[in-house]
Amino acid sequence: MPPLAQLVELQEPAIRAAANAGVPYILPSEFGPDPFAVQLVEENELLIAKKRIRDLIESIGVSSWISIAVGPWLDAGLNQGLWGIEPKTRKATIWRGADAKVNTATISHTAEAVAAVLSLPEAELAKYKNKAVYTPFQRATGTTDADWDIKTRDVNEVAREYEDKISQGDGVAPFVKFFITHFLEGHGGDFNHKVHSTELEKLEQLGLHKEDLVQAIKVALQ
């Protein structure tokens, strides 16, 4: 996997160029969790790097950033086993102590959200200046508990493992941490309370559809 924190920083020249050209809005690489989830941001280098980009845009003072908050990508993380589920081997890990609700979306749904936001009239789009737009496995696979190897692990034990691996330069461990920390209570993985129903309806009228979790999982497993 690529070192995403470093890749995020590659946006800096483009942001400065956009400012020089007087571009009013920038959608940086902000397709993920709530950018204002302070604890979640502070614990993940990827999110720290994203904040540096937002801060840069604000410090230049020409453009405004817009974040598309969707949570960790469902399909991308599923295919890489980052949800604690390995579909091909039918293995699953329950992280004891990491059981908070989490918002998620597929990559295609995220693209729909971007298109809908950019289709808003200027007066509506201006509301999102320097803000975020917040937008069952066995049923999808036709299996039961008996078909799966399910184990439970204490999240603190898992955390020690990924922190050790991160310190050793492991490329996958930061992604494991990224997903697990979303499930920690109070870290900000659940931002449903920030969703404005009226604003969401406007985006739905512009083509943003409601995702079906089971159907999204089926598509991701194809």
Distance CA 3, CA 72 (A): 16
129 inside domain? yes
Farthest-apart Cα atoms in the chain, separation: 60
Edge to edge, the sheet with strand 64-69 lists 25-26, 64-69, 131-134
Q: What domain range is 51 assigned to?
A: 4-216
Tell me, yes or no, whether 132 lies in a domain.
yes
Residue 221 lies in a domain: no
Give residue-wise pLDDT tens across range 74-117: 998 988 889 998 888 888 898 999 989 899 999 999 999 999 99
Q: How many angstroms separate the CA atoms of 101 and 213, rounded?
A: 14
Distance separating the N- and C-terminal Cα atoms of the chain: 21
Beta-bridge mates of residue 92: 85, 150
Above 60 in pLDDT, residue 169?
yes
Q: Is residue 109 part of a domain?
A: yes
At residue 137, the pLDDT reads 60
Calculate mean pLDDT across residues 208-218.
Answer: 85
| Per-position b or e across 138-176, b if 16+ CB within 10 A of its CB | eebbeeeeeebeeeeeebeebbeebeebbeeeeeebbbb
Domain count, the chain: 1
Q: Which residue pairs from 78-85 have beta carbons closer than 8 angstroms and sit at least 24 positions apart in sequence?
A: 78/217, 78/220, 78/221, 79/220, 80/1, 80/175, 82/175, 82/176, 82/178, 82/179, 83/179, 84/179, 85/137
User: Is 169 part of a structural domain of the chain?
Assistant: yes
Among 72, 93, 112, which residue's Cα sits nearest to residue 203? Answer: 112
Locate all alpha helices (DSSP H) within the chain, ordered by sequence: 4-9, 12-20, 38-43, 45-60, 74-79, 107-118, 122-125, 137-141, 155-167, 173-182, 197-205, 213-221
Average pLDDT value for residue range 2-22: 83
Tens-digit pLDDT profile for residues 28-49: 988 888 999 999 999 998 899 9
pLDDT for res 144: 78
The reply to whether 222 falls in a domain is no
- Predicted confidence band at 136 (pLDDT cuts at 50, 70, 90)? low
* Predicted local confidence at residue 2, as pLDDT: 44
Alpha carbon distance 211, 222 (integer Å): 17
Q: Does any domain span residue 28? A: yes
pTM for this one? 0.81
Residue at 146 is within a domain: yes
